[in-house]
Structure 1
Amino acid sequence: MTINLPKPIADYVEANARLDLDGMLRPFLPDAVFTDNGKRFEGQAAIRQLLEEEVIPVNAIFTPDAIREEAGDVVVEGPAHGDFPGSPLRFTYRFTLANGAIKSLEVAV
C-alpha cells in the first residue's frame, strides 16, 4: 500500500528503509525533539545517538500503512521489522512539522 507522506516524513521513511543514518537525520530541525517510548532526545546530536544505538544495530525498518492528521500533527502508523524481540511490531509515529522539516517525533508501540 502506498500512502502520500509529507516530504520530510517521506524522506525520513525512505532513509530508514536504507538504514541511512545521515538521511534519517536530515529532515529534522537542529533543535528537534524525538520521544521514543517516553524517552526524550533533544537536538540532532541526541537524535543521532538514539538512531545509532537503537535503530541501526537491530535493522529496525518502519513501513507506514496509514496516515491521518490529528490536532495539527501528522500521525503515521505501521509495522516495524528488524532484529528485535517481537518483530514485527506495530508503531505509531506522531510528527510535528515546521518550516518543511520535522520539529518533533513521538514514537510509541
Structure 2
Amino acid sequence: MSRAPVPASLLALLLAVAAPVAAAPATPSEGSVMSELPAPVAQLVAAVTAGDTDAFLALFPADGVVDDWGRRFSGHAAIRRWSDKEFIGAKGVLTPRKISRSGDTVTVDAGWKSSYYSGDSRFVFVLDGDSIREMRIVGH
C-alpha cells in the first residue's frame, strides 16, 4: 500500500517551527509526548497545526476512516467534508498530552481547540505502516 509523500512545504514548516519550539520552555510531559508519537501521528499533528488538509488526507489510505464520537467518515472525500467544517477548517489546534500504544493502536489524550469545539479529547489511531487506517475521537 502506498500513500503520497509528505509535501516538501510541510517538511519545511516542521523545520521552521521546530527551532522556536525547541527554544521555548516546554513542560516535561509536552516534550516527551511529542517525541513519543509515531511518525504518522506526529505528521497528522503537524498537518493540523499548519492547516494543511492535503497533507492530513495523505496520511490516510483511500479507504481510511475518521470516527468522530460515533459518526463515521470513510474515504478521502468524506473525511475532507468533515475536516473542512469541524477539524482543520475550524482552525483546530491539537495538543498531545499523554500517549499509550498497544501494537498498531495508539491512544493520544490531547487538548483540542477550534472554532467548532474545544475541550479535552482522546484520539485513537489505528496505524497501518506509515498510514493511519482509522482515527477515532472518543470520550475519556
TM (norm. structure 1) is 0.88
Structure 2's unaligned 5+ residue stretches are 1-29
Q: Which has the higher helix share?
A: 2
Q: Does residue 69 of structure 1 match 2:72?
A: no
Aligned residue type for 2:57? L
Q: Does residue 105 of structure 1 match 2:135?
A: yes
Q: Does residue 14 of structure 1 match 2:14?
A: no
The Cα shift of 1:72 comes to 4.1
Supply the distance in 1 between the matched residues of 2:88 and 2:45 (Cα, whole angstroms).
Answer: 14
Look up the SS of the partner of 1:96 in the other structure: strand
Residue matched to 1:90 = 120
On the 8 A contact 1:19/1:61 being kept in 2, the answer is no
Residue matched to 2:13 = none
On the 8 A contact 1:96/1:103 being kept in 2, the answer is yes
On the 8 A contact 2:126/2:132 being kept in 1, the answer is yes
Query: CA 1:56/1:100 → structure 2, altered by over 3 Å: closer, same or farther?
Result: closer
The Cα shift of 1:84 comes to 3.5
Q: Which has the higher contact order (CA 8 A, sep 6+)?
A: 1
Identity %: 30
Supply the distance in 1 between the matched residues of 2:69 and 2:79 (Cα, whole angstroms).
Answer: 14
Larger Rg: 2
Supply the distance in 1 between the matched residues of 2:45 and 2:82 (Cα, whole angstroms).
Answer: 16
Aligned residues: 107
Q: Which has the higher strand share?
A: 1
Divergent runs of 4+, >3 A: none
The Cα shift of 1:104 comes to 0.6
